[in-house]
Every structure is written in structure tokens, then in C-alpha cells.
Amino acid sequence: DGNSLTILNPAPHGDTITADAQDTEPKLVIGERMQFGALGSEDAGGRMAVGYWFPGNEGEYTYRGPIWPFQDGQVHQWRLRYHPLKDGLGQNYEVVFRFAQNESFPDCYTNGWRWAWQTLKPPVIKHDIDAVRRHIVDMLASQVETVNGRTGIPNAVFWDGEKITKRDRKAVMGFTGKNLESANFMLMESDRDTTERGKRLRPLALAIIDSFLKMKMSPPVGEGFNLDTGEPVMAIGEHKRVYLRSFGDDVKIMLKAYLRERRLGREHPEWLRWSKEFGDWLLPQQQAEGGFPRSWKPGTGEVVDASPNSSYNAVPLMVLLAEATGEVKYRQAAIRAGN
């Protein structure tokens, strides 16, 4: 109805303890060093009830691990956090509210964030971003593997505190893997750096891209490949589906790389062909109201989840296809999805 409520802790402390951060099943944790709270709301008979739970209870549904929070789904159970009853232990929490009327959703979002920023007045802490960028690109480049002509970055590495103990053998695009985005970072860095370091980065990036170009995209056979066998794989194998987000993330980046390289006089028609193959497969699946399906069975293209809630991922992809090809149908699809 145009009314909105924004809730803020004006003096936040994010302190917590290992037992809170690493539990994989919802369980009771008691510790005096947990200093954060959880904001929540619920429909109470047509009226909104809001609350602040400290020190950070979560419910009534909560996620469980172990590898990432949502892999093993939700449980209908509270994740309970308490402070001990202890002489001399003091607690102090403060919550402030912003009430607004007749704001559009974008205005509510923007004004809420600006109110929070003005309330908290966080200091601007300057960092050497060039150094950060160089080190991150070098870290990514150090993990590139080539096996029997296939090149990629493992989806994950496992670290015991001193060394890498195991490597995930999947090289995947988008969302968790970002192989093509990582390749694009290396291409950009190679143009910035004229030393031997820059010269070494470009072949690594091109090899990753060439390896992904071998994947069929109409319909997609997977979100990546096994570095050892070359077999198509999915980022979350047990789901047995491919997600729009994976392609929205990295096909978008492929098109950005294509356009940048073209501006620099380097033609890569195969990059555009591969990106267009996916775009042309996706385009006829646009729904009457403008959305796109969320996921499909790999190799068949059968829709698994028709929900349009991931359609935002298609918008930049279609805009960039329109720019790369000059074909208006892609831009029209982007506008429909955006609307």
C-alpha cells in the first residue's frame, strides 16, 4: 500500500564464535562473545509483526551444511543462540526504525540504504586496489590446469590450513565456478601488463575459453566439464539440472570479452557463435509475461523449473547479444524480461 518499514541496529557488532559459524545442523549454542542480532518479521493476522532476536536466533526454518548452506536443504527448526546467565555479563542492543509512506519500491530501497549510511557514518577505508587485483588474478592463474587439451580452474580446492589436500575436478561456468569470468580477468590484466607476467596470462585465458567452446549449448549439455575426463558436469551435480544463472553469468562475460576484444581489433567469431547458440536456444522459451525458465535437464532441454524468478540473468545477456549482432530481437526480449 506504499507504506514501508526499515529496521536498523545503529551500533552493530558482528562478533561471533567458531561454534556459531561452523555448525552444519541447527543446534543450541551458548556463548557470551556472540554480539549480533537477527531481524525478522511475520504476518500476524493481516498486521506485520517485527522482532529483533539476540544474539542471532534464526528460524523457524533454517539451512544446514556441510559444504554450502543450502546444499542439504532446510529444516523446520530454530537455530538457537543464547548468552549464559553470568554475574557481571552485560548486554546492550539498540534498534531504530524508519517509517515511510507513498514510496515506490526503488525509492524505499534507495532511501532506506541512504538513511542507514547516514546513521552509521562508516569510515571510508582506502586500499591499494591495484595490488588486490593483481594478487587475485595471479591466484586464479596459479590454479589453472590443463589435462589432455582441456583447460580450466577447479570449482573448489580443499585446504587444511597449511596445504591444498584435494581439488574438485569440475571446471564450471557462472555462479560457483566463474571460469569464463576468471579468463576474462586474465585477458584484461594481460592488456594492462606488458611484462612477461602479462604475456603468460593471455594464453591461459584463451585456453580456458577454447575448452568451453567445445560444449554444446543448444540445448546445454552441462555447466562445465570434468577436467580429467572431459565429461559434461553440473555445478551442483545432485540437482541433475542446469540453471539459467550459470549461463547468464558467464555467457554474459563471454560477450563482454568479445566486444572488448573486437574494439581492440581482435576478432573472435567463434566466441560470438557459441554465445549466440545459447541465446537462440533460450529466446523461444520466453514466457508470455516476459520471464524465462529457471532450470532444465542437461542435454535434453526439458524444463525442470519453469519459475521466472531467475529471469534477471537473461537481461544483460540479451542486451549484449543485441550489441554484438545488431539484431533487435535480443533487445526486445531483454526489455520484456526486465518489465
Kindly state the cell numbers that stand for 108. Answer: 524505499
Kindly state the cell numbers that stand for 17. Answer: 564464535
What are the residues whose beta carbons fall under 8 Å from the beta carbon of 80, sequence distance 6 or more?
Answer: 26, 27, 28, 29, 57, 59
In this structure, the strands spanning 96-100 and 145-147 are unpaired
Provide the pLDDT for residue 69. Answer: 46
**Spatial separation of the C-alpha atoms in residues 26 and 292, rounded to whole Å:** 35
Range of weakest confidence among 64-73, 293-302, 326-335:
64-73
- Give, as one character, the DSSP assignment of residue 304: E
Average pLDDT on 249-263 reads 98
Average pLDDT on 278-304 reads 97
Tell me: the pLDDT tens digits for 128-187? 999 999 999 999 999 999 999 999 999 988 888 889 899 899 999 998 899 999 999 999
**More confident site: 323 or 27:** 323
Tell me: the pLDDT tens digits for 46-96? 888 888 888 888 887 777 765 454 456 778 888 899 999 999 998 888 899
Mean per-residue pLDDT over the chain, rounded: 92
Provide the pLDDT for residue 65. Answer: 63
Tell me: the pLDDT tens digits for 197-247? 999 999 999 999 999 999 999 999 999 999 999 999 999 888 899 999 999
Quote the pTM value.
0.80
Average pLDDT on 95-118 reads 93
In this structure, the strands spanning 232-233 and 224-226 are antiparallel
Question: What stretches of 148-231 adopt beta strand conformation (E)?
Answer: 150-152, 157-159, 164-167, 170-172, 224-226
221, 232 contact by CB (below 8 A): yes
